[in-house]
Amino acid sequence: MADTLTDKTSARPWRAPRLSLRRREAIEAWLFVSPTVAGFLVFFLGPLLAVMYFSLTEWNLLTQEATFVGVKNYVDALSVNPDFWHVLRNSFVFAIGLVPLNMTLALTLALALSRPFRGVVFFRTVFFAPVVTSAVAWAIVWRFLLQGEAGAVNQLLASVGIDGPNWLREPDWAMVAVIVTRVIKMVGLNMILYIAALQAIPRDYEAAARLEGASNWQIFRMVIWPLLAPTTLVIFVITMIGSFKVFDHIYLMTGGGPENGTLVLAFYIYEQGFKFFNVGYASALAMIMFVIVLVLTVIQMTLRRKDMR
């Protein structure tokens, strides 16, 4: 053994205690994940617990006075405050409008742009560019385009004989406008995910199906769509969570108006917390939003698991 030589010297260097391979691996693993775990504890679990606690208090951000009020904030939200259900409805309308539109468009674009052809990079860039565009610039341009009479959208509609609405000033149309402009902005991200998934499907599958006489639709329905399922699940979950959390877009496009027609949950939480300084109530609303998103995600994952079996 090499150690026998050093054993004889009186000042022996410090040596790590002998550990089994398993323990050493465990320690190494912990060391590798520790930055993430620390980040998780400090930036996620800590704030989450803090919000849970705040939601049980009446805390004024400005005066810094906090009193423990139990579940009062939840009771207020669910049964006292008339705004809450309206806001929740808006959030669901936004999500139900946005998610299918976004995913259908993303998949369609991905199917068109997953195979190489001349100019494919150009088209992918065009559809992805809005994702990296500043949200502020995006909103300013769209507010300009969506003006009642002078806006380019309505002028275009007028040229084919359609009298367009005053998009951002009528509650229902404002919701449509924020959904569609949000989809156009974010669809590129899902498109890229779908393109990656499509390119990972071996071409042999399609060739085999074609040999069996399958039509294009059958190939998509029987071969490609099932193989895309894991990607679809991921896209669905992140798009849905994103749509419940949408804030910047609403803030910049409509400010929750008109007539609170686009007042969604995340924006309402912001108003309560940072405009009216009711941090306790805002925290309770944030917890409710957290639970809604969690439940929807769990349902989706359970359904998917059953489906795969």
Partner 1 sequence: MNLRMKSLAASTILSLGLISGPALAEELRFTVWTGSEAHLKMLNEIAESFKATKPDVTVRFETIPAADYTQKLTFQLAGGNPPDLGWMMEDAAPTFAAAGVLMDLGPTLREAEGYDFADYSEPALGLWTKAETVYGVPFSTSPFMIFYNKTLFDEAGLEDPLQLAASGKWNMDTFQEVAKTIKDKTGKWGFEFKDGQGYESRIMHALMPPIRAHGGDVWANGECGFDKPEAVQAVQQLHDMVFKDKSIVPPGEQGDYFSGSSAMTINQISRASKMPEAGFEWGIAPLPSGPAGESPVIGQAAIVVFERGEQKELAAEFVAHMTNKENVAKMAQFFPPARKSVLESDAFTSANAIIPAEQMAHVSDAIAKGKVLPSHEKSPQILAAMAPRVDTLWKPDAEVKQALAGVCAAIEPLL
Write out the residues near partner 1 by the rule CB under 8 A: 60-64, 143-144, 146-151, 166-169, 171, 255, 257-260, 271, 274-277
Cβ closer to partner 1: 20 or 64? Answer: 64
Q: How far is the CB of 275 from partner 1 (least distance, A)?
A: 5
Nearest to 135 by CA among 187, 185, 189, 91: 185
Cβ closer to partner 1: 242 or 258? Answer: 258
d(C-alpha 301, C-alpha 249), whole Å:
28
C-beta of residue 105 within 8 angstroms of C-beta of residue 219: no
Cβ closer to partner 1: 128 or 247? Answer: 247
Q: How far is the CB of 170 from partner 1 (least distance, A)?
A: 8
d(C-alpha 68, C-alpha 226), whole Å:
51
The CA radius of gyration of the chain, in Å to the nearest whole number, is: 27
d(C-alpha 243, C-alpha 267), whole Å:
12
Cβ closer to partner 1: 173 or 220? Answer: 173
Cβ closer to partner 1: 79 or 199? Answer: 79
Pairing of strands 57-60, 65-68: antiparallel
CA distances from 252 to 76, 177, 203, 247 (A): 28, 13, 44, 9
Q: How far is the CB of 68 from partner 1 (least distance, A)?
A: 19
Strand partners, 67: 58
In eight-state DSSP terms, residue 13 is: P
Q: How far is the CB of 146 from partner 1 (least distance, A)?
A: 8
Q: How far is the CB of 168 from partner 1 (least distance, A)?
A: 5
d(C-alpha 52, C-alpha 284), whole Å:
7
Q: Give the contacts of 35 (CB within 8 A, at least 6 positions apart).
A: none
Q: How far is the CB of 260 from partner 1 (least distance, A)?
A: 4
C-beta of residue 66 within 8 angstroms of C-beta of residue 57: yes
Cβ closer to partner 1: 206 or 248? Answer: 248
